[in-house]
């Protein structure tokens, strides 16, 4: 077994007294072996221990999806019980780490059949995933670049008369046209909907005077972009301009503070102080950012209480926002990475309040 | 509390000695209260017991996504621990059912903090969801209708020269144009890739002589379409025609057999017998179908070993296929529902081997 990520996973397991790692849906499996399980009711499970080569228990009909030679597979047929195949490889009394996104139905079925100490995989997998290798940094850069092209194209569109959902579909198509392998997500929150940070793009038709938050990104090689720019339909009012400028100041101050050794929560505190001193602290209702990599949201979280010191190659979002209920919202989001002596910002599209039709 | 689905859930819980239901991501929560949790690291959890109105523990920033008055909410802020809020409402010694898709990280965190008997929610929720009400049937019909329009439009396209991924994107756009709220999935498997039932649409460029399996469907009101039609680029060869005709015979025989009281596995057996007697049994490598509703794959599974008797309003796919490794595949898929005296087929687009450019 020469897969270096598996070697590192075993080292991290050993440090924590973990005998076995069972991974299913979610980012850990593709991170380790390049194969992503389908999020369906047929169990796919990667088994990693200290003695044997990793094996992948997989529905027989999905075996053609696995790159030949990339991992040993144990296919199961439609009338087999995949839990049997996993249980047969576990030993009573072991400490077994379960992939964070594994479905409860499989967790409970395994617990029912194996007397073990069950722990989450996240400490092991976060240790591996929180720092990125050069290939991962390139994928995140490429994904950001495609999203930035879309952000700049957005500024040339006429939003007025389009529904949020239509614009969201346009963005999904555009990120693929600009080089993403697949659309990831696209949130369009217009007018009062902008005050909902996780608004679902809906049927609201945009109109002059709307501030419009567009938060989106496609995937490149399994790695996501995630950027937010805020637009206004027609000339902005003074408050819209002022709120946007304040959020932009918070982004700039937080970004400038990024560097090795700085605690994640310090970055949050800096963005929050700018917005609070500007008089809008109570309307900045979420953390400043989240790590990004094989998973759209991962460690390090840029939030009060997280004293993790930033290290080179960690990647995360800086995305302060101000949300005025029933009125409008503004958010600006970049993905950044920590360098040896500071920060590299992956997103370079225009951050100003862009005026659209 | 007058939500009739919650009333039924409590009845099903009582029958099984379940004190509390904890639902998170996945189909059960939207089925019960119309709200769908975001599949992110911030926990959203619906708590249903026998004494209190259901409550929804939800990230504060996502509270605007909940329809006001639809459920009591307990928002948590960015520095709160949502597990605390759930644990405070559980009692030691209870039997607690966990939503099937709940992430392992939350399952383990809850188990760590509450001494309870933990069981899966599926027996309770399947009992509710396996039979559809008229509104659900209408949503599934509408989703199928949009997909059927797309299937018929596909027959007018020139596949040759397009990549699978391009055609997949075209399908996603088309299902929305034809009335779906959102694209669901679209699998395009051409030439030898067609032999992989769950192929990921990729960069392969289609060319004359290819058989192309298109399996897709958008969402209407949260309910999916799921239909498969098989196309051929240029005049088909004799084997292509013969294999397609055999799969179509299997679909027709299985569909004709659907009715109340028939066991799910009988439908599978009928499709399998047709294909086996036609000499291709070993190449029909999956079950005949899966239930469909709020979730794309759910009970009843149309598979050997499932003796569940079909009942009116159950909905499922009939989708036999033949997969010839390294050569081509054929699958034909309809969604059907059991009626009082037989079957209604939701998908009505042309099932023949359509010749495209």
- On whether any CB of chain B is under 8 Å from the CB of A84, the answer is no
* CB burial of residue A75 (10 Å; 0-12, 13-18, 19+): middle
d(CA A321, CA A282): 11
Phi-psi region of B221 (alpha: psi -120 to 50; beta: other; left: phi over 0): left
What the block records as the tokens of A175 is 């990120």
Percentage with pLDDT > 90 across chain A: 99
Q: Can you read off the two tokens belonging to residue A267?
A: 């970055």
Helix B164-177 with B134-154: angle, nearest 10 deg: 130
Q: Contacts of residue B40 in chain A, CB cutoff 8 Å? A: 296-297
> In 3D, which of B240, B226, B221 has the Cα closest to residue B171?
B226
Where in chain B is CATH 3.90.230.10? 134-356
Residue with tokens 């990667």: A46
Residue B131 forms contact with A (CB below 8 Å) = no
Predicted confidence (pLDDT) per residue in B314-325, tens digit: 999 999 999 999
Across the interface, do A102 and B99 touch by the CB < 8 Å criterion? no
Pick B200's closest partner by Cβ from A65, A98, A103: A65
**What number of other Cβ atoms are within 10 A of residue A120's Cβ?**
21
What 3-state class would DSSP assign to A58? strand
Residues in chain B within 8 Å Cβ distance of A296: 40
Q: How many CB pairs under 8 A join A and B?
A: 117
Taking contacts as CB-CB distances below 8 angstroms, the residues of chain A near B104 are 98-104, 107, 120-121
Residue in chain B nearest A75 by alpha carbon: B285
Nearest residue, CB atoms, B65 vs list A105, A111, A196? A196
B13 has pLDDT over 70:
yes
Residue of A nearest to B24 (CA): A104
Asked whether B259 and B337 are in contact (CB, 8 A), the reply is no
- Residue B125, token pair as written in the block: 């929720």
Q: What is the mean pLDDT of residues B133-154?
A: 98
CB contact under 8 A, A78 and B105: no
Q: Which residues of B touch A122 (CB under 8 A)?
A: 105
Tell me whether the omega of the peptide bond preceding residue A344 falls within 30 degrees of 0, making it cis.
Answer: no
Whether B69 and chain A come into contact, CB under 8 Å, resolves to no
DSSP β-bridge partners for residue A59: A76
User: b or e along B69-102 (b: 16 or more beta carbons within 10 Å of the residue's beta carbon)?
Assistant: eebebbbbebeeebbebbeebbeeebebbbbbbb
* Beta pairing partners, B183: B218
DSSP bridge pairs for B186: B216
Mean pLDDT of chain B: 97
Tokens 């700018």, located at residue:
A274
Is the N-terminal amide bond of B300 cis, ω within 30° of 0? yes
Facing B61 at nearest CB: one of A119, A285, A303: A285
The answer to whether residue B7 scores a pLDDT higher than 60 is yes
Numbers of helices and strands, H then E, in chain B = 9, 18
Where b means 16+ CB within 10 Å and e means fewer, B229-248 reads bbbbbeebeeebebbbebbb
What is the reported pLDDT for B2? Answer: 76
Among A110, A127, A172, A94, which residue's Cα sits nearest to residue A28?
Answer: A127
B287 touching A, CB under 8 A? Answer: yes
- Sort B133 into a burial class: Cβ within 10 Å, 0-12 / 13-18 / 19+: exposed
How far, in Å, CA of A183 to CA of A170, rounded? Answer: 10
Whether residue A112 lies within 8 A of chain B, CB to CB, comes out as: no
Q: Is the dihedral of CA A71, A73, A78, A79 positive or negative?
A: negative
Residues of B within 8 A of A99 (CB-CB) are 104
Residue B223, pLDDT score: 98
The alpha carbons of chain A give a radius of gyration, in whole angstroms, of: 22
What DSSP line would sit under A260-282, residue for residue? TT-BHHHHHHHHHHHHHHTT-GG
Ramachandran assignment for A261, one of left (phi > 0), alpha (psi -120 to 50 degrees), beta (any other): left
Nearest CA in chain B to A40: B297
Q: Are A194 and A330 in contact (CB under 8 A)?
A: yes
Q: State the best of A37, A61, A64, A104 to mutate against chain B, taking most chain B CBs within 10 Å.
A: A104
Architecture in CATH for domain A134-356 = Alpha-Beta Complex (3.90)
pLDDT at B62: 95
What pLDDT digit, counting tens, does each position of B29-60 carry?
Answer: 999 999 999 999 999 999 999 999 999 999 99
Instruction: List residues bridging with A291 in a β-sheet.
Output: A298, A316
Q: Which residue of B has its CA nearest to A35?
A: B200
Q: Which helix (H) or strand (E) holds A324?
A: strand A321-324
Measured in angstroms, the CA of A296 and the nearest CA of chain B are apart by 9
Is residue A321 helix, strand or coil? strand
Concatenate the DSSP letters of all residues of A131-165 into one string: SPPHHHHHHHHHHHHHHHHHHHHHTTS--TT-BHH
Give the CA count within 13 Å in the CB-facing half-sphere of A259: 5
**Cα gap B182→B152, rounded to integer Å:** 19
Of B105, B120, B305, the CB nearest to A79: B305
Beta-strand (E) ranges in B221-260?
223-224, 227-233
H/E/C letters for each residue in B310-329? CCCCCEEEECCEEEECCCEE
Which of B60, B107, B121 lies closest to A107 in CB terms?
Answer: B107
Q: Which of B 225-264 lie inside 8 A of A, CB atoms?
A: none
Interface contact A40-B297, CB threshold 8 A: yes
CB A193 within 8 A of CB A214: no
Query: Among residues 151-210 of chain A, which lie with CB inside 8 Å of chain B?
Result: 165, 169, 173, 176, 181, 195-200
Rounded to an integer, what distance in angstroms lies between the CA atom of residue A161 and that of residue A152?
Answer: 20
User: How buried is residue B273: exposed, middle or buried, by Cβ count under 10 Å (0-12/13-18/19+)?
Assistant: middle
Digits of tens for pLDDT over chain A (357 positions)?
579 999 999 999 999 999 999 999 999 999 999 999 999 999 999 999 999 999 999 999 999 999 999 999 999 999 999 999 999 999 999 999 999 999 999 999 999 999 999 999 999 999 999 999 999 999 999 999 999 999 999 999 999 999 999 999 999 999 999 999 999 999 999 999 999 999 999 999 999 999 999 999 999 999 999 999 999 999 999 999 999 999 999 999 999 999 999 999 999 999 999 999 999 999 999 999 999 999 999 999 999 999 999 999 999 999 999 999 999 999 999 999 999 999 999 999 999 999 999
Question: Has residue B1 got a pLDDT over 60?
Answer: no
What is the number of alpha carbons within 13 Å of residue A12 lying toward its C-beta?
Answer: 18
Those residues whose C-beta lies under 8 Å from the C-beta of residue A336, and which sit 6 or more positions away, are: A255, A258, A315, A316, A317, A318, A343, A344, A345, A346
- Pairing type for strands B315-318 and B334-338 reads antiparallel
Nearest to A122 by CA among A295, A258, A283, A240: A295
pLDDT of residue A1: 54
Q: Which of A230, A296, A300, A231 is nearest to A263 (CA)?
A: A300
pTM for the complete prediction? 0.95
Q: Which residues of B touch A78 (CB under 8 A)?
A: 285-287, 303-304
Residue A195: list chain B partners with CB under 8 A: 64
B194-212 burial, b at 16+ Cβ within 10 Å, e below that, comes to bbbbbbbbeebebeeebbb
Query: Is the pLDDT at B243 greater than 80, yes or no?
Result: yes
User: CB of B84 within 8 Å of any CB in chain A?
Assistant: no
Pairing verdict, β B95-98 and A182-190 = unpaired
> Looking at chain B, which residue has its C-alpha nearest residue A99?
B104
Residue A217 token pair: 């990104």
% of chain B exceeding 70 in pLDDT: 100
**Cβ distance of B169 and A169 shorter than 8 Å:** no
Which B residues, 32 through 51, put their C-beta within 8 Å of a C-beta on chain A?
38, 40-41
**CB-based contact B65 A200, cutoff 8 Å:** yes
Residues of chain B with CATH 3.40.350.10: 4-129
Query: Are the beta carbons of B17 and B95 closer than 8 angstroms?
Result: yes
Q: Strand (E) positions, chain B?
A: 20-23, 45-49, 55-59, 72-76, 95-98, 117-120, 182-190, 211-220, 223-224, 227-233, 289-291, 298-302, 315-318, 321-324, 328-331, 334-338, 343-345, 354-356
Query: What kind of fold does domain B4-129 have according to CATH?
Result: Creatine Amidinohydrolase; Chain A, domain 1 (3.40.350)
């Amino acid at each position: 077994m020469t897969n270096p990520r598996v070697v590192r996973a075993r080292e991290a397991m050993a440090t924590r007294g973990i005998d076995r790692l069972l991974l299913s849906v979610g980012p850990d499996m593709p991170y380790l072996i390049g194969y992503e399980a389908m999020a369906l009711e047929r169990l796919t499970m990667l088994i990693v221990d200290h003695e044997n080569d990793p094996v992948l228990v997989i529905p027989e009909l999905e075996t053609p999806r696995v790159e030949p030679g990339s991992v040993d597979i144990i296919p199961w047929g439609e009338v087999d019980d995949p839990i049997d195949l996993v249980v047969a490889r576990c030993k009573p009394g072991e400490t077994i780490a379960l992939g964070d996104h594994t479905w409860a139905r499989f967790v409970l079925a395994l617990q029912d059949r194996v007397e073990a100490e069950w722990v989450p995989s996240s400490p092991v997998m976060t240790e591996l995933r929180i720092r990125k290798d050069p290939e991962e940094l390139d994928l995140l850069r490429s994904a950001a670049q495609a999203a930035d092209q879309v952000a700049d194209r957005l500024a040339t569109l006429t939003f007025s008369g389009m529904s949020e959902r239509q614009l969201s579909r346009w963005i999904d198509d555009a990120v693929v046209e600009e080089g993403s392998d697949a659309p990831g997500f696209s949130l369009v929150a217009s007018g009062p909907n902008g005050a909902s940070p996780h608004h679902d793009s809906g049927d609201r038709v945009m109109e002059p005077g709307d501030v419009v938050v567009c938060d989106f990104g496609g995937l490149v090689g399994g790695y996501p972009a995630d950027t937010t720019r805020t637009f206004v339909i027609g000339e902005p009012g003074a408050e819209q301009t002022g709120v946007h400028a304040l959020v932009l100041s918070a982004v700039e101050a937080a970004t400038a503070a990024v560097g090795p050794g700085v605690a994640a929560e310090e970055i949050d505190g800096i963005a929050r102080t700018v917005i609070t001193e500007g008089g809008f602290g109570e309307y900045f209702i979420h953390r400043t950012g989240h790590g990004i990599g094989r998973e759209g949201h991962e460690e390090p979280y840029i939030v009060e209480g997280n004293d993790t010191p930033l290290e080179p190659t960690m990647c995360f979002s800086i995305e302060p926002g101000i949300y005025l209920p029933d009125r409008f919202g503004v958010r600006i989001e970049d993905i950044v990475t920590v360098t040896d002596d500071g920060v590299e910002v992956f997103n370079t599209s225009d951050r100003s309040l862009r005026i659209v039709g």
